[in-house]
């Protein structure tokens, strides 16, 4: 009987650790940002849960509405936005996570001069039935923060994600 139990344990797939799940979410968040950096609207939409809520000046509900609200970032011109997670936390249940970190937005002021603003984003990710992490809630601060050197460096990091 012990032999069968041992064989079953050895044959069973290893369950992901919280550290593995945190890295999965970290990489999903970076991929989400990279989709905007590459101005790939379709890939951007694929990261968003169909029932998602993005909170800004108003609340955008649903993948299509959110993607349309972000259309300005897919025009080939400014504004441009980039973000990276500084903190990633996954619940013990392994299916809900928070990522938080700096973002930088580059646009033009009323005189047409390029300007840079920094803020902090917060994203809540949920793992769906297929094991894919999708963002369900997203919000950020107004871009009037002063970034630290660590945050500036973080924005250039892919944290081991492909």
Reported as a single tens digit per residue, the pLDDT across 56-97 is 999 999 999 999 999 999 998 899 999 999 999 999 999 999
Q: What is the pTM of this model?
A: 0.89
Distance CA 85, CA 47 (A): 15
Q: 125-158, pLDDT tens digit by residue?
A: 999 999 999 999 999 999 999 999 999 999 998 8
Question: Nearest-CA neighbor of 99 among 19, 43, 25, 159?
Answer: 25
CB 117: neighbour CB atoms within 10 A? 16
Distance CA 31, CA 57 (A): 25
The CA–CA distances, whole Å, from 132 to 87, 94, 105, 127, 128 equal: 20, 12, 28, 5, 5
The answer on pLDDT for 47 being more than 70 is yes
- What residue spans define the domains of the chain? 16-154
The DSSP bridge pattern shows strands 133-140 and 48-55 to be parallel
The answer on pLDDT for 1 being more than 50 is yes
The burial class, CB within 10 Å (0-12 / 13-18 / 19+), for 81 is: buried
β-sheet bridge partners, residue 59: 55
End-to-end CA distance of the chain: 44
The answer on pLDDT for 11 being more than 50 is no
Question: Nearest-CA neighbor of 148 among 102, 106, 107, 116?
Answer: 102
The answer on pLDDT for 162 being more than 80 is no
* CATH 3.10.450.50 for domain 16-154: yes
Q: Which two tokens stand for residue 161?
A: 């994600």
Q: Which two tokens stand for residue 22?
A: 């945190």
């Amino acid at each position: 009987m012990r032999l069968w139990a041992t064989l079953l344990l050895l044959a069973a797939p290893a369950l992901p650790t919280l550290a593995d799940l945190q890295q999965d979410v970290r990489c999903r968040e970076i991929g989400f940002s990279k989709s905007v950096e590459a101005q790939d609207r379709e890939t951007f939409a694929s990261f968003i849960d169909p029932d998602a809520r993005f909170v800004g000046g108003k609340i955008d509900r649903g993948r299509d509405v959110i993607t349309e609200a972000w259309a300005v970032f897919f025009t080939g011109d400014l504004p441009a936005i980039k973000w990276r997670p500084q903190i990633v936390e996954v619940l013990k249940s392994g299916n809900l996570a928070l990522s938080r970190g700096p973002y930088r937005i580059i646009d033009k002021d009323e005189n047409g001069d390029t300007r840079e603003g920094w803020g902090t984003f917060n994203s809540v990710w949920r793992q769906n039935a297929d094991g894919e992490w999708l963002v369900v809630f997203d919000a950020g601060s107004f871009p009037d923060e002063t970034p630290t050197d660590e945050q500036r460096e973080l924005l250039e990091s892919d944290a081991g994600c492909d």
